[in-house]
């Protein structure tokens, strides 16, 4: 039985009026394609200006900015692993993305947070494995932390939706 604080939705993460959305960013934190591009477009140029002050982000780590023109108050930027066969620490790095993003939410007293399917686009992480890491890592974190009220996984394809659906 999965945690009642976990939810699954299809759609565009940039539309959510919640405390924080997570960005699947790259190490430069200067914008990019996919969900990163969508978040920067919706947030406006002030987001890039704040990101430029952060000096990048390592894979598995996370950094927070304001949300600017987004309906979400904050953006937590994390950098997923690029899939290269699974022997380069990709599972641990992906789990760290979820854990470190959630820890930033707790530190900033943020209660509602949404994740995209980190690394499941250009970074080519196998979907079923990535979904399991997302759900397991988040569930484990919530068992130890009561301040976060809702974590929504927002996905954009049928395949990814089905992978999460089986786990939730």
Active site (catalytic) residues: 36
Q: Where are the beta strands (DSSP E) in the chain?
A: 6-10, 20-25, 62-66, 74-79, 112-115, 150-155
* Binding pattern for the stretch 68-107 against ligand ADP, x by CB under 6 A and - elsewhere: ------------x---------------------------
- From 1-9, 29-37, 64-72, 142-150, give the range in contact with ligand ADP by CB under 6 A: 29-37
Is the Cβ–Cβ distance between 90 and 127 less than 8 Å? no
Q: Can you read off the two tokens belonging to residue 101?
A: 């993003």
Of 26, 15, 147, which Cα lies nearest the Cα of 80? 26
- From 11-19, 64-72, 84-92, 129-137, give the range in contact with ligand ADP by CB under 6 A: 11-19
Q: Does 14 bind ligand ADP (CB under 6 A)?
A: yes
Q: Does 116 bind ligand ADP (CB under 6 A)?
A: yes
Q: Which is nearer to ligand ADP, 42 or 142 (CB)?
A: 42
Assign 105 to helix, strand or coil. Answer: helix
Q: Does 119 bind ligand ADP (CB under 6 A)?
A: yes
Angle at 111 between CA 18 and CA 74, to 5 degrees: 50
Q: Which is nearer to ligand ADP, 138 or 156 (CB)?
A: 156
**According to CB under 6 A, which one of 93, 100, 152, 156 is a site residue for ligand ADP?**
156
* Beta carbon of residue 59, minimum distance to ligand ADP (angstroms, whole number): 10
CA dihedral 92, 50, 28, 58 (to 10 degrees): -30
């Amino acid at each position: 039985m999965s945690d009642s604080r976990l939810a699954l939705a299809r759609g565009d993460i940039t539309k959510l009026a919640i405390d924080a959305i997570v960005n699947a960013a790259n190490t430069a934190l200067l914008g990019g394609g996919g969900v990163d591009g969508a978040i920067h477009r919706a947030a406006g140029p002030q987001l890039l200006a704040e990101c430029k002050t952060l000096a990048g982000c390592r894979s598995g780590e996370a950094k927070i900015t304001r949300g600017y023109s987004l309906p979400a108050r904050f953006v937590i930027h994390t950098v997923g692993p690029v899939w290269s066969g699974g022997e380069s620490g990709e599972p641990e790095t992906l789990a760290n993305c979820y854990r470190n993003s959630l820890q930033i939410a707790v530190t900033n007293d943020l209660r509602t947070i949404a994740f995209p399917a980190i690394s499941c686009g250009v970074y080519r992480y196998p979907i079923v494995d990535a979904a399991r890491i997302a759900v397991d890592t988040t569930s484990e974190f919530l068992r130890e932390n009561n301040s976060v009220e809702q974590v929504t996984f927002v996905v954009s394809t049928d395949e990814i939706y089905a992978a999460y659906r089986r786990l939730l």
